[in-house]
Structures are given as structure tokens and as C-alpha cells.
Amino acid sequence: MEEPEDKKPKKVKAVHEVFTLLVEVGRKAGDGLPKGATGAGLLCFASGVNEAEAVRETVAVLKQADLAPLDVTGYGTLAEREAQGDEINDEERELMARARAENSVVVVQMTPFYDDGPHPSDA
């Protein structure tokens, strides 16, 4: 027997947050990283109902782009970063808003790594 409409649990729409993630990637054929680079660090803004989902989605997107994610470090949501005293400029806020609106992953910056460290000209 089916429950009356007013007795069914209401579905609550999950609120997506935008998380700041730093992803370290290694080398893989066709990854598009500069010649001589040993990998790269990618600063990403990723939408998700929680950080774990944002990480999963980011790793999946990067793998589809022929990158080889090795490690992900989370830096929290906009509110969490502000509470920690991080300064977030207007451009970053716009990119975070875009990630939320599109429910997507936005790669903000890519810094190639070399055996002798990142090259300033690549940052």
C-alpha cells in the first residue's frame, strides 16, 4: 500500500558548494604538459555537495583530459577560506561562481614541475 503524499519523506535538494583544490599530476602520454616537466600542480575550483564529491569529480575530469592525478589537497569552501583569513580576489570569486552555476570543475592555474623545481616563467 502506497503512503499518502503528505507522509512521504520530502526530498531535500542538496546545496552545492565550491571547494578549492590543489591537484598534483604526474606525466602521461598526451597530457599536454611542457617538454621536460615531471608533472604539474593544478589549482581548481570544484562544485560538490561535499569535498569528497568535489575531489571525485575533479579527478574524473582530469583523467578524461589525459592527465594523471596523483594527490589532491583540499583548502575548503569560500566561507572556510575567508574564516582562515585568505584573501580572495574578484577574479577568483567569479570563477567560483562559475563553477557553482555550471556544477563544474574550473582549472584556475597550472604550474609545471621540473626536476629542479617549478620554473618562474611557467607560473
pLDDT in tens, 47-75: 999 999 999 999 999 999 999 999 999 99
Range of the domain at 24: 15-116
pLDDT band at residue 10, thresholds of 50, 70 and 90? low
For the chain, what is the domain count?
1
The C-alpha cell that represents 62 in the structure block:
582530469
Residue 68 lies in a domain: yes
Residue 2 forms part of a structural domain: no
Dist CA 103 CA 107 (whole Å): 13
Whether residue 20 is contained in a domain is answered as: yes
- Residue 4 included in any domain: no
**Residue 3 zone, left/alpha/beta (φ > 0; ψ -120 to 50; rest):** beta
Contact 57/63 with Cβ under 8 angstroms?
no
pTM above threshold 0.95: no
If DSSP codes are grouped into helix, strand and coil, which group holds residue 1? coil
Q: What is the pLDDT of residue 14?
A: 74
Please report whether residue 8 resides in a domain.
no
